[in-house]
Amino acid sequence: MKTLLSWLVLALTFSAFAAQPIKVSSYSYSAPPLQDKENQDPGHQKLTDAVLFPGKGIYPHVVWQYNAFGKKPLQIDFNLETPAQIESIRIMQFRWKRSYGIKEIRAIGTDSNGNRFSLGNIVLNQPYHLPENEAHDAPVSITTTDNTPASAVQLIFTGTGGYLGINEVEFLGTPQPAQQEVSQKLDVLADSAQPGLRVFKHGSFYVLENDYAIYAIDPRYGGSLSLAWDKLSKSNLVKFAETGSTYGPLFQDRFYPGGSKNRDMYLYRQYKAEILQDSPDLKQVRTWGVGHSGIFSGVEISKTYTLEKGSSVINVDITISNQLDNVIPLKYGYWFAGGLHSDSDEYKRIVPGQLGPEVKSSDGQVTSVDFVDGWCGGMTGDNVLAILFPYEWSKEIY
């Protein structure tokens, strides 16, 4: 009875939002589904045809086998007819008796300028075997965490079994005219720079500015630093990357070893953020996020960014804590700094070597395990950006 009631409540929710469904113009997937009659998707229509349940001669589900594409997560890309603020995503899942469980679903939006951003995720960790009291066709819902109007949405499915079955995908929200899209390009911050110390929001970004520099922090991208604008040289010394697109921002939380599964546990995660202090001589922004699965479940990472009135230096205090009652040591390294970059061909990277500072070309990767002090830097001409860190805690500059 509990399962039936859950479905009835969701069915009413579908009806309540029926006035504002977001229409899909087309969709594609990163790997083809099974090609037998019951599981295929000819014409790419089954996921948006409003057929939720099977019937005589009716097979609403599309099924993929993870082994067929190297056991990688499956991506489904949906193009929307008009940009929209997505409030929730409804997925009707199909599960057979075993091997159809979903571990996690992530949603990434793309705005009309091609910028990607995290819409949210849901961690299910469904068992390998379908419990006897659960239906083969059941709904899953993602409540989004970003109201930026999206022109396209990508869903990324990670499984606990060997198969993935989907009957339907529905987007609910508020349609937005394309011309109302608010650009979040950060070059406008340099163009509108002001004297004095201040902290403010620019779209989804939190911005710290004084007479020397402008720093932009992106809670959508794990609370990372996406802009470090030097007002004197008029250049950005941090590689900018839209959330959900690639690696790049500074102070993006990553771990090693363990391959991409552990390394990228916090990649593209939506963090919370707040203005912690707004005094005449000091401004602070805090961002924080919590791991959702595996050994990092309950592990919180908090970063506090501080900018003072008379200095171009931004201080970043990082705290990693396990919020669970049953605490065990995690023997992993924390990889905090990536993204030093400049558009200039003169750009060099600097590390403190055994015989003095080592200057490296910006082409290729720099790996140093024999550095002798807690700093590294990037240089373009006479302009230098340096990162200072606790030397006694550091293992490698990579």
Hey, where are the domains in the chain? 2-179, 187-341
Residue 270 DSSP code: P
**DSSP string covering 107-158:** EEEE-TTS-EEEEEEEE----SBPPTTS-SEEEEEEE-S--S-EEEEEEEEE
Q: What is the pLDDT of residues 188-197, one digit of tens each?
A: 888 899 999 9
Share of the chain above pLDDT 90, in %: 42
Place of tokens 């057979």: 96
Rounded distance, CA 358 to CA 371, Å?
9
| Domain 2-179, architecture per CATH | Sandwich (2.60)
Dihedral angle, C-alpha 93, 94, 98, 101, nearest 10 °: -20
Whether the Cβ atoms of residue 76 and residue 157 lie closer than 8 Å to each other? yes
Average pLDDT, whole number, for the chain? 81
Residue-wise burial string across 234-254, b where 16 or more C-beta atoms lie within 10 A, e elsewhere: ebbbbbbbbbbbeebbbbbbb
pTM of the model: 0.57
The pLDDT value recorded for residue 159 is 94
More confident position, 8 or 173: 173
Angle formed at CA 178 by CA 175 and CA 184, multiple of 5 degrees: 105
Residue 244 DSSP code: T
Output helix, strand, coil percentages for the chain, rounded to the nearest 5.
10, 45, 45
Q: What is the pLDDT of residues 198-215, one digit of tens each?
A: 999 998 899 999 999 999
Q: What is the mean pLDDT of residues 305-321?
A: 93
Q: What is the pLDDT of residues 127-143, one digit of tens each?
A: 999 999 999 999 999 99
**pLDDT tops 70 at residue 120:** yes
H or E segment to which residue 375 belongs: strand 375-380
Rounded distance, CA 201 to CA 269, Å?
19
Q: Which two tokens stand for residue 278?
A: 């707004």
Q: How does residue 244 score in pLDDT terms, banded at 50, 70 and 90?
A: low
Q: What is the pLDDT of residues 51-108, one digit of tens each?
A: 888 777 678 899 999 999 999 999 999 999 988 889 899 999 999 999 999 999 999 9
Whether the Cβ atoms of residue 251 and residue 227 lie closer than 8 Å to each other? no
Say which residues have a Cβ less than 8 Å from residue 362's Cβ, sequence separation at least 6. Answer: 341, 342, 347, 348, 349
Rounded distance, CA 392 to CA 349, Å?
22
Place of tokens 């501080």: 306
Q: What is the mean pLDDT of residues 269-274?
A: 87
